[in-house]
Amino acid sequence: MAEILLFHHAGGLTDGVLSFAETLRDAGHTVHAPDLFDGRTFDDVKDGVAHAQSVGEEVFAARAAEVMAPLGTDLVYGGMSMGGARAAEQVLQRPGARAAFLLYGAVAPSWWDTTWPAGVPTQAHVTEDDPWREIDAEEEYVTIPGAELFVYPGAGHLFAEPGHPDYDEEVARLATERVLAFLG
């Protein structure tokens, strides 16, 4: 079983994020789900993004580093939307990653002026008409050897977030099954 560091989306450490972490735990994995927003949550993605921008990227990088300090390096990094960038950042800058999975978006390693480390599998999950979708990032992402990009029908961003207007039960089920198979 894997030890996973799961970074939340711009809504913060919501009940939906905690529920997903619990699903991974129920499958036998150890999951760390740090709250990088210090208890704040947002119903609207735009409000969460505005909060993140007001706090600053350096603050979130420092908070992530603090969370990781006591952990080993043999981790799987998971990220949801904005948290996907945090997860990828760890894979790219911290040696020893086992794998990475990203919900609600893909990343481009060139954002960090680097390449994805050899032998670190990764998968990303998006919906085809998500207004936050970054096609250019996806085009680079799929050039990572062994990367998997799953594009689902629909337009919801937080498609696996129960209670959110973007929630799509069928897409959430399929993405969760794929993440669990990937971790297995």
Residue-wise pLDDT tens digits, 5-59: 999 999 999 999 999 999 999 999 999 999 999 899 998 889 988 998 888 878 8
Q: Which pLDDT score, from 0 to 100, does residue 52 have? A: 87
C-beta separation of 137 from 106 below 8 A? yes
Q: What is the pLDDT of residue 22?
A: 97
In this predicted model, what pLDDT tens digit does every residue of 149-176 receive, in sequence order? 999 999 999 999 998 999 999 999 999 9
Burial status of residue 168 (CB atoms within 10 A of its CB: 0-12, 13-18, 19 or more): buried
Neighbour count for residue 162 (Cβ, 10 Å):
13
AA identity, residue 65? A
User: Quick one: residue 113, left, alpha or beta (phi over 0 = left, psi -120 to 50 = alpha)?
Assistant: left
Domains, the chain, with CATH or none? 3-183 (3.40.50.1820)
User: Residue 69: is it exposed, middle or buried by C-beta count within 10 angstroms (0-12/13-18/19+)?
Assistant: exposed
pTM for the whole structure: 0.94
How confident is the model over 131-155, as pLDDT tens digits? Answer: 999 999 999 999 999 999 999 999 9
pLDDT attached to residue 171: 98
Task: Output the pLDDT for position 57.
Answer: 78
Q: What is the mean pLDDT of residues 120-129?
A: 98
- CA-to-CA dists, residue 153 to 44, 130, 131, 170, angstroms: 21, 9, 13, 10
Q: In whole angstroms, give the CA distance from residue 116 to residue 124.
A: 14
pLDDT score for 64: 83
The total of other beta-carbon atoms located within 10 Å of residue 98's CB is 17
